[in-house]
Structure 1
């Protein structure tokens, strides 16, 4: 989706997002079908990891992978490889067959020691085997450009300009138990992801120079012709995928159109409408206020958030979500903490909104958090017009809310409503993060 770039242009972004979404919602309500894309949903690593490997191995022309976290633990001889190493192996095999491969990974920026090129810094030791293997196999990998205090948090794969997978899940063994969701898309929406990758790769080349394994800093080859995308979509529908209208919202260092789009959706919710939200981090003040306002207008709302028991690998005791949970619960919004297993996160960034006759749903990399809305590079798709897939996502969120989440206890709410107690939670989280980092050093 094209949007106005530049800071201080929020009102223009809001208007542009509103027009696009109003058109999308009206078309869905009327049963009209603009050019659509085939979409199917992948829930948790059991579905996501095999789908990613299968898609990479099917590549004939080009593989574009932008992944915040790409990792796999070291494995002993004879042991099965971790997902990160399996992906590197699949990428290397395709590259040897003449397929053009490009990888962007923000965590590579953390793991690589800029003071000594070719070596790794002390943190994120568990990522090193994947980056070592990628370099030894000649796979081009760059750090995305990021301004101070921001990251490229996107998670998407594009193959041959025809099919893509995107959403909230990182490709790493350490997060394989997370409850998460991705979508596989074939058709016109893939062009938006190609555009996003091309822009990110170009910014990375300008910021860091081309990867030493490739001199190709020219614009990427575009393989996704309209005919090829249509054929790919038709094939996916024949294999059981649904047909959706999709708007892809890409936050970049210069433009952040996602929050205005989400606010437009929240503002359209009225009495009799429904909203379900499942979110790792829900801290963006405008979105919290938008959900509260929708509830006050009579919409039926449920919110499930992660309790942060394994956030960044440590127990962060709901430090980030505490204030929002207190505000939502205090306003009467049914708000629950996901019941996580040890080491697990509710890592989803998913919502479903029933607005009149239209069902609108979204999935992507962006938390409903201030940093993801205003600083980080993020990619989220908003979908309409695919009732079967939308019903599956809606049922998943309903089941999770009813069977896998619980309201905060009175003691938790008392703490969440206390500024002093919230500060104590943040201090505890920070101390645990520092200890975790120190224990992971070489």
Structure 2
């Protein structure tokens, strides 16, 4: 009485549902990408470089503190916002033990002046980047002993640790190319400095604006070359050229997913346009008042473009910005894991 009972009508019903799902008017949903997790703070080999992904403020500042404490010869810092007395204290301690410390600052960023003044009073060499009206030095770059660098989107502000940002700790040839940017900026600021030539590093490209406009070109090229997916977290998305490239990608069938910061009003227009083209786009929902301060794009789960540059006209053409383009699926996977957390937490 309670043994197995054959129910052929169940099989027929399932078959009918399967046929119906393939019929006209049914749009199959894209399969969810299942990516194995990678520890976010594990060093990863990328060509001749080692990259430690630092998704989020706590990971980034832990790396910053570690490299500052271990500095033996030199500390080179270029930072837009600097309001952390604890990090200033680590730089002062390094200076006191004989480490050569140099800082490049944006003289228009008023909230950081008291911190820079503490360093200047101790005799640390500080240089003002030559900003012009409507421009800023938005770079976030720390180089220690010419061998390790921390860079990305995070400021050293009072509340920066709470925000959503993406940074990396780098060793290898990329550090030489980042040092070249620092040397170039000293030269631009009127401090005669030998500027080294670029070192070949095929998997990690260092990109700057003012001088140059390489970041927008890299963003558009990456979007135009996308075959399957584009995943973006962005503080400001308003540049017409990049938005048009994203719209074209969505219309040719690329899965475009964009998460934007809600406090920036210009993001609303981009949000509406992207949705109209079939992209998945939504606003970030903070848990405790934090900002989506990220400037991140991941193309086909392989190429990662991130750094200080917002995707705005001012970011691409007026400000001094610094980004990296890393071509590595494992680095992309770490940042995608973080992006997925932010995306899921912001779902309507």
TM score, norm. by length of structure 2:
0.81
In the TM superposition, residue 265 of structure 1 has moved relative to its aligned partner by 1.0
Output the aligned Cα RMSD.
2.5
Q: Is 2:219–2:305's contact at 8 Å kept on the other side of the alignment?
A: no
Q: Which residue of 2 aligns with 1:264?
A: 221
Q: Secondary structure at the match of 1:173?
A: coil
2:115 is aligned with 1:103:
no
Match of 2:193 among 203, 211, 219: 219
Match of 2:212 among 224, 235, 255: 255
Return the alpha-carbon distance in structure 2 between the equivalents of residues 221 and 203 of structure 1: 11
In the TM superposition, residue 184 of structure 1 has moved relative to its aligned partner by 0.6
Q: Which residue of 1 aligns with 2:35?
A: none
Q: Is 2:309–2:322's contact at 8 Å kept on the other side of the alignment?
A: yes
In the TM superposition, residue 319 of structure 1 has moved relative to its aligned partner by 1.4
Judging changes above 3 Å, is the alpha-carbon distance between structure 1 residues 221 and 283 closer, same or farther for their aligned structure 2 residues? closer
2:340 is aligned with 1:394:
no
Match of 2:346 among 395, 400, 405: 405
Q: Which residue of 2 aligns with 1:306?
A: 261
- Deviations along 1:226-260, whole A, 9 cap, x unmatched? 9xxxxxxxxxxxxxxxx9921111112x3111111
Q: Which residue of 2 aligns with 1:74?
A: none
Answer with 1 or 2: which has the greater Rg: 2
Report how many residues are paired.
304
Q: Which residue of 1 aligns with 2:203?
A: 245
Q: Is 2:307–2:323's contact at 8 Å kept on the other side of the alignment?
A: yes
Return the alpha-carbon distance in structure 1 between the equivalents of residues 242 and 195 of structure 2: 38
Q: Secondary structure at the match of 1:70?
A: coil
Q: Which residue of 2 aligns with 1:93?
A: 93
In the TM superposition, residue 129 of structure 1 has moved relative to its aligned partner by 4.1
Q: Which residue of 1 aligns with 2:119?
A: 134
Q: Is 2:180–2:195's contact at 8 Å kept on the other side of the alignment?
A: no
Q: Which residue of 2 aligns with 1:285?
A: 240
Q: Which residue of 2 aligns with 1:146?
A: 131
Judging changes above 3 Å, is the alpha-carbon distance between structure 1 residues 128 and 203 closer, same or farther for their aligned structure 2 residues? closer
- Deviations along 1:149-173, whole A, 9 cap, x unmatched? 1111010101111110100000122
Q: Which residue of 2 aligns with 1:176?
A: 161
Match of 1:56 among 57, 61, 68: 68
Structure 2 residues without counterparts, runs of 5 or longer: 1-44
2:321 is aligned with 1:366:
no
TM score, norm. by length of structure 1:
0.65
In the TM superposition, residue 137 of structure 1 has moved relative to its aligned partner by 2.0
Q: Is 1:167–1:364's contact at 8 Å kept on the other side of the alignment?
A: yes
In the TM superposition, residue 130 of structure 1 has moved relative to its aligned partner by 1.7
Return the alpha-carbon distance in structure 2 between the equivalents of residues 36 and 342 of structure 1: 39
Return the alpha-carbon distance in structure 2 between the equivalents of residues 195 and 250 of structure 1: 11
In the TM superposition, residue 70 of structure 1 has moved relative to its aligned partner by 0.3
- Deviations along 1:284-326, whole A, 9 cap, x unmatched? 1111111111111111110000001xxxxxxxxx412121112
2:79 is aligned with 1:67:
yes
- Structure 1 stretches (4+) deviating beyond 3 angstroms? none
Structure with higher helix content: 1
